[in-house]
Structure 1
Amino acid sequence: MSTIHLNTIIKANIQTVFDLARDIDLHQKSTSKTNEKAIAGITSGLIEKDETVTWKAKHLGVVQTLTTKIVSMDKPHQFTDIMLKGTFKSMKHQHIFKQEGKNTIMTDIFEFQSPLGIIGKIFNKLFLENYMKDFLLERNELIKTTAESIMSHEVTI
């Protein structure tokens, strides 16, 4: 099992960051390089507990689908999604939010296991862990810039 742990400091309130992190439309914008689209389940707006979304995207030159379900949610402090169907052997993504002063600390704990036994483990270490980390960092950067933009507009109005 591989685990990616990321912390992103965002100059915005916890509710704004929490909502942006579960916004299907914003996620699609953050994944424009892979042309990721929500094709089933919740395909727009904010995803909630017990809801699913199926994504279709081109990763590593191959068109893939991934269905995830939100299995826990404590607004605005955390939500967790797991893979129901997809190319990973397993996948779990915890999204944790903590307000610290005027900032929100957004933590991602992304755990995944590739199929194919030892070959999958080698592929994870050599390539997939960095690929997934970069994918999450790009998503987090859009959440950060969007949240901070919202907050700066609220302050000036």
Structure 2
Amino acid sequence: MPGFEIVTHVMAPPERVFDISLDVDVHAASMAGSSEKAVGGVTTGGLKLGDTVTWRARHFGIRRRMTSTISAYDRPGHFVDEQVSGPFKHWYHAHHFQPYDQGGTAMRDVIEFAAPLGPLGRIAEMLALRHYMPKLIRVRNQHIKQVAEATLAAD
């Protein structure tokens, strides 16, 4: 099963980065390039353990929906979101937040995913998803970093 890890350093405390990472509005803004929008479940504000959200987005020119749930939650150390229904055969995204440097946070994303459709899905994983998914998470993380650091500077 394909997977990857991305570490992003944010000059804001783990509590702030954790909360911003669970904010539906921040996530939607970070994914503006794919017109991602919350259309079901929790559609605005922060998520907590057991919450679900249904996202509608356009990827590869195709409109898709994905419903995910927050299946683990230990503020400010980590949370997990997992697909309940949607385009993947399997989607698991663990978010880890560790104190880093002087007041900063090392935000580590650990993602496992599998495309549906057996051998055709594995071809899609090799040709597109293994490159596309990390890029998407990096874009998201840069937005979270900007929001967390700007919010901190404003305090």
**TM-score (norm: length of structure 1):** 0.95
Alignment of 1:135 with 2:123, yes or no, is no
Q: How does 1:6-155 map to 2 (within 5 A)?
A: 6-100=6-100, 101-154=102-155
Superposed CA RMSD in Å reads: 0.8
Provide the rounded CA distance (Å) in 2 between the counterparts of 1:149 and 1:37.
Answer: 23
SS at match of 2:8: strand
Provide the rounded CA distance (Å) in 1 between the counterparts of 2:110 and 2:24.
Answer: 19
Provide the rounded CA distance (Å) in 2 between the counterparts of 1:88 and 1:16.
Answer: 30
User: In the TM superposition, what whole-angstrom CA distance separates every residue of 1:42-80 from its partner, at most 9, and x where no partner exists?
Assistant: 000000000100001111111100000001100110000
Shift in Å at residue 129 of structure 1? 1.4
**TM-score (norm: length of structure 2):** 0.97
Shift in Å at residue 118 of structure 1? 1.8
Give the partner amino acid of 2:137: L
Structure 1: 4+ residue segments shifted above 3 A: none
Provide the rounded CA distance (Å) in 2 between the counterparts of 1:128 and 1:110.
Answer: 12
Unaligned runs of 5+ residues in structure 2 are: none
Shift in Å at residue 105 of structure 1? 0.4
Shift in Å at residue 96 of structure 1? 0.5
Shift in Å at residue 125 of structure 1? 1.5
Provide the rounded CA distance (Å) in 2 between the counterparts of 1:149 and 1:65.
Answer: 31
Identity %: 36
Shift in Å at residue 102 of structure 1? 1.5
SS at match of 1:65: strand
Shift in Å at residue 131 of structure 1? 0.8
Shift in Å at residue 33 of structure 1? 0.9
Provide the rounded CA distance (Å) in 1 between the counterparts of 2:9 and 2:129.
Answer: 25
SS at match of 1:46: coil
SS at match of 2:88: coil
Count of equivalent residues: 154
Shift in Å at residue 120 of structure 1? 1.1
